[in-house]
């Protein structure tokens, strides 16, 4: 065999040896309808049942299994535990130090609904009450005027309110409550640029309007709980006690932007006259 033929043969063998790699590279770069061959199945493929499908495996013939009696979804626990319907001592609890005993329908209305319930009213009468046409109508006390007296408005409570306010309200209302949060600014920018993306956007209320200052505390509480006009409700995200803490903080914000000389300790007043 001549030297040239030998070199030629070695060349062909080397080229053939590279072929598997070329095929692997190709299959990695192209799409295929076939599933990849599995040497070890692990749990990649196993029998399963579709929702609503029948199954001979269970006595009732249903693939979907009903809830086991007595089980409670975790998210239900959060909502229900807020008010423990203990017959003896129903309590309003959350993770703050505030634990309130609800021992009358009047207290329930004030603490959980932010509403006034005159003593001796039946459930039907209470249910039939309608909010006043003007939310700040003092003639008709529908919402409690101030945070219920059982709740101790301490510095810690206000700080908790501030924290919750910054998380849940400031994106729209702004950290100082002027209605100029980041979401509001972005929406305004889009509207000014003529974009449809923010066409339905309504500017969040400025808390420092006279109208807002005059709202009863219970009205603000109700706004957080149920939302108002275009503002969504926050009852699922914010516990009852945290809602009151936010109300307290909104009041502090309003006071801070409308401070009077008399709010200062007497000794400091001279300096700012």
The residues of the shown chain that bind ligand HEC, judged by CB under 6 A, are 135, 168-169, 171-173, 183, 202, 204-205, 215, 219-220, 223-224, 228-231, 234, 246, 250
When the beta carbons of 95 and 123 are compared against ligand HEC, the nearer one is 95
Task: State the nearest-atom distance from the C-beta of 136 to ligand HEC, in Å.
Answer: 8
Burial 224-260 (b: 16+ CB within 10 A, else e): bbeeeeebeebeeebbbbbbbbbbbbbbbbbeeeeee
What's the token pair of residue 70? 């007595």
Please tell me the number of Cα atoms within 13 Å of 241 on its side-chain side: 24
Q: Tell the smallest beta-carbon distance from residue 169 to ligand HEC (Å).
A: 3
Q: Which is nearer to ligand HEC, 62 or 186 (CB)?
A: 186
DSSP at 263: G
Identify whether the C-beta of residue 34 lies closer than 8 Å to the C-beta of residue 27.
no
Nearer to ligand HEC, 62 or 213 (CB): 213
Query: Least distance in Å: CB of 73 to ligand HEC?
Result: 25
Question: What's the min distance (Å) between Cβ of 214 and ligand HEC?
Answer: 10
Nearer to ligand HEC, 109 or 246 (CB): 246
**Residue 171 Cβ, how far from ligand HEC at the closest point, in Å?**
5
Task: Give Cα separations from 208 to 62, 146, 214, 235, 256 (angstroms).
Answer: 59, 18, 10, 24, 10
For ligand HEC, give the closer residue by CB, 92 or 250: 250
Query: How far apart, in Å, do the first and last CA atoms of the chain sit?
Result: 114
Give, as one character, the DSSP assignment of residue 115: B
């Amino acid at each position: 065999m001549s030297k040239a033929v030998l070199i030629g043969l070695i060349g062909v063998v080397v080229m053939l040896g590279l072929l598997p790699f070329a095929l692997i590279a190709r299959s990695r770069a192209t799409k295929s309808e076939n599933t990849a061959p599995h040497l070890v199945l692990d749990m990649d493929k196993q029998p399963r049942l579709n929702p609503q499908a029948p199954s001979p495996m269970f006595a009732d013939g249903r693939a979907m299994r009903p809830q086991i009696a007595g089980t409670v979804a975790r998210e239900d626990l959060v909502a229900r535990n807020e008010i423990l319907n203990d017959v003896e001592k129903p309590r309003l609890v959350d993770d703050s130090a505030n634990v309130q005993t609800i021992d009358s329908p009047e207290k329930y209305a004030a603490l959980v609904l932010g509403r006034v319930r005159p003593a001796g009213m039946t459930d039907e009468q209470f249910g039939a009450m309608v909010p006043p046409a003007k939310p700040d109508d003092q003639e008709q006390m529908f919402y409690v005027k101030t945070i219920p007296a059982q709740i101790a408005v301490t510095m810690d409570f206000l700080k908790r309110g501030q924290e919750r306010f910054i998380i849940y309200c400031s994106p729209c209302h702004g950290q100082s409550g002027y209605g100029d949060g980041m979401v509001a600014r972005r929406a305004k920018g889009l509207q000014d640029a003529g974009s449809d993306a923010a066409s339905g956007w309504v500017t969040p209320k400025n808390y420092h309007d006279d109208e807002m200052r005059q709202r009863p505390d219970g009205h603000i509480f109700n706004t957080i709980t149920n939302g108002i006009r275009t503002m969504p409700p926050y009852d699922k995200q914010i516990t009852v006690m945290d809602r009151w803490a936010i109300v307290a903080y909104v009041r502090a914000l309003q006071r801070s932007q409308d401070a009077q000389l008399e709010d200062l300790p007497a000794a400091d007043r001279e300096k700012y006259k």
